[in-house]
A and B are shown apart, each in its own frame.
Chain A
Amino acid sequence: MIVSRRGSARYRARARAAREALLAYGLLSPALLLFLAFTVFPIVFGLYISLHNWRLGPREFLGLGNYMRALSPDSEFWPSLGATLTYSLLAVPIQISIALTLAYLLFQKIRGKALFRVVMFLPWVTSTVATAAVWARLYSPDIGFINSLLKSLGLAPLRWLLEDKGLFTLIAGGLGITLPDWFRGPSLAMVAVVIYTTWVFVGYNMTLFLAGLGNIPGEMYEAAKIDGANGWQLFRRITWPLLSPTTFFVVLITVIGTLKAFNHIWVMTQGNNGTQTASILIYRQFYEFQRAGYASALAFLLSAVILMVTVLQNRVAAERVNY
């Protein structure tokens, strides 16, 4: 009798576990089915597409042909990868150093802090397409606000988004020096895009840094101040090391974000004048030329680069970040 009661208790527990599992799968199924259909399946399908000459459907099997074409020495993939990395290498340090500086300034006891945060965050909230359209007009050589500002300061107007010449070439040209072509630097159009990107993301990154700064215990600063540390030492010895997890996180998402940048570049330059990043190239190949196979192969190559950069960053972080 006792045995059978135990048996039925165990049976009931098992039934309850089964019901719980069933409920869990039921709750998960909408999200999981959507992920399977529109994320997991497209990866496999994309691989399949990338092995074909593909227009509306498969035309012929090419094997690795699309990849070979993308990786051949004269392919447009290499310059686009160069443009992507240039964009990233320019945008990330500028954006992060400004965001960190602002966050640090704002972290002092300051009035109007909330208002400043709201204002700085606004560009991130608003439509990239709309604000990029506004900036494209600000940069306009004839009717743009930026050139009229330059003129009123007595400086020469520039062609900004329409300028293919390199930054270094332009600066040297202004000084009367001619530079060799390999030292031309990023195109002015690229610099203009980077300035826009900085405007969009500084407030967002600053908000992340502010959250990170808030996690540093205040006693550390007080103790260091009693020991006579100055402002720079406080930053260098306390803030910077203790903020490193946040910094790493911000750098990581900013790098990934810049490697995928698309909307604003599309609106501002359509990829012209040295701004054809890999994302733009993929989109153009597909949207303008309907080369789905080639575009998919390019997408896999770009994703491989993003993955490598991410892994590399994690390696560096493992050594340098203090948790």
Chain B
Amino acid sequence: MIYLVLIVVGIGSLIPFVWMLLTSVKDYGDVVSLNLWPWPPLGNSTPRFDNFAEAIRLTGVDRDTGLPLFFRHVLNTATVTAIVVASSVVTSVLAAYAFAQLQFPAKNALFILVLATFIIPEELILVPRAVMMNKNYLNWYNTLPAMVAPFLANAFGIFLIRQFFLQIPRDLYDAARIDGAGHMRYLTFVMVPLARPAIFTLALLEFIWTWNEFRWIQLVTSSSNMRTVSVGLVGFLQTDGGSQTQLAMAVAVMVVLPVVILYFFTQRYFTEGIATTGLKG
């Protein structure tokens, strides 16, 4: 009985993904005629893998590189994601070490400040952040710095890593000191290797959050060659993808695929990371 419920729910949960995959290789005619499985043995269409190439072609051409815009969007997304992951991991590890291991004036006040940045709704700062990027202020509008700036450090990462650092016994530090290691060497060669699971979890979560980011990028970019895949997908839905559902789904498959592959190889870190830290809906 329990198995039946779980199997039905599990399959139901996968239906949108399956439908997306099937639709992405259909003929337009089969989409419109609601044919769920138009291929042998039930039908006589052939799977149209050309849809992917067709969809990529329809996104247009990047005037800088001459490549299809979709590839430019992938490149932009990968660049933004790589910068954000690297920066948030480094800033989080450094700050977490200070909060976990060092004594200094105003420690509690600064920790509360970090906590506060975590609680503040993004809605509150969205507009002023975007205004800061325009030409009267930072003049970063439609550039890479604007795309990454709000995500370079985050309080979630500091908490996650600090929590892990606090579990490492202090004796280890005393031992390292006797061996002549200072704080930086201790952090690099003892704490960081020990905290690898937490750091990996943070990097993965940052990866998917940044890869999937939409609103901010849409707000601070205007030219098609600065978009990321999410923004590009929404644009595509409003143009050719709007009527050609199979092409829209082909793009959606390509947007989702890197994250899904990454997730299947690392899913343990996601569920464990979420379960131990909770946070962020």
| Interface of A toward B, CB cutoff 8 Å | 17, 20-21, 23-25, 27-28, 30-32, 34-35, 37-43, 45-46, 49, 54, 56-57, 102, 105-106, 108, 110, 112, 115-123, 125-131, 133-135, 137-138, 140, 142-143, 145, 148, 199, 201-204, 207-208, 210-211, 249, 253-254, 256-257, 260, 262-263, 266-267, 278-279, 282-283, 286-287, 292, 295-296, 299-300, 302-303, 306
**In the complex the two chains form, is A121's CB within 8 Å of B234's CB?**
no
**In the complex the two chains form, is A39's CB within 8 Å of B230's CB?**
no
A-B contacts, 11 listed (Cβ < 8 Å)? A34-B153, A38-B150, A39-B117, A40-B113, A46-B125, A57-B136, A126-B256, A127-B230, A137-B19, A260-B122, A299-B124
* Cross-interface CB contact of A282 among B3, B114, B120, B127, cutoff 8 Å: B127
A140 to B249 Cα, complex, angstroms: 14
Interface residue B149 (Cβ < 8 Å from any Cβ of A): yes
Chain A residues, Cβ within 8 Å of B99: 28
* Cross-interface CB contact of B183 among A23, A35, A138, A302, cutoff 8 Å: A23
**In the complex the two chains form, is B211's CB within 8 Å of A127's CB?**
yes
Chain A residues, Cβ within 8 Å of B230: 127, 129-130
Chain A residues, Cβ within 8 Å of B211: 127
A141 to B6 Cα, complex, angstroms: 29
A217 to B110 Cα, complex, angstroms: 37
Q: How far is the CB of A97 from chain B (nearest CB, A)?
A: 13
Question: Which 10 A-B pairs give the minimum distances between C-beta atoms?
Answer: A257-B281, A211-B275, A46-B128, A21-B104, A24-B104, A42-B128, A42-B125, A34-B153, A127-B212, A24-B102
**In the complex the two chains form, is A40's CB within 8 Å of B255's CB?**
no
A20 to B218 Cα, complex, angstroms: 43
Given A35-B117, A38-B149, are A211 and B276 also a contact pair (CB < 8 Å)?
yes
**In the complex the two chains form, is A201's CB within 8 Å of B281's CB?**
yes
Given A30-B94, A31-B92, are A143 and B245 also a contact pair (CB < 8 Å)?
yes
A49 to B124 Cα, complex, angstroms: 12
**In the complex the two chains form, is A133's CB within 8 Å of B13's CB?**
no
Chain A residues, Cβ within 8 Å of B132: 41-42, 45
Which residues between 125 and 166 of chain B lie within 8 Å of chain A, taking CB atoms? 125-132, 134-136, 149-150, 152-153, 155, 158
Q: How far is the CB of B231 from chain A (nearest CB, A)?
A: 8
A41 to B105 Cα, complex, angstroms: 23
* Cross-interface CB contact of A56 among B128, B136, B249, cutoff 8 Å: B136
Number of A-B residue pairs with CB-CB distance less than 8 Å in the complex they form: 260
A265 to B153 Cα, complex, angstroms: 27
**In the complex the two chains form, is A45's CB within 8 Å of B248's CB?**
no
Given A283-B215, A306-B121, are A49 and B16 also a contact pair (CB < 8 Å)?
no
Chain B residues, Cβ within 8 Å of A34: 91, 149, 152-153
Q: How far is the CB of B234 from chain A (nearest CB, A)?
A: 6
A45 to B230 Cα, complex, angstroms: 29
Chain A residues, Cβ within 8 Å of B229: 127
Q: How far is the CB of A217 from chain B (nearest CB, A)?
A: 18
Q: How far is the CB of A272 from chain B (nearest CB, A)?
A: 14
Which residues between 195 and 246 of chain B lie within 8 Å of chain A, taking CB atoms? 208, 211-212, 214-215, 218-219, 229-230, 233-234, 237, 245
**In the complex the two chains form, is B183's CB within 8 Å of A199's CB?**
no
A171 to B256 Cα, complex, angstroms: 36
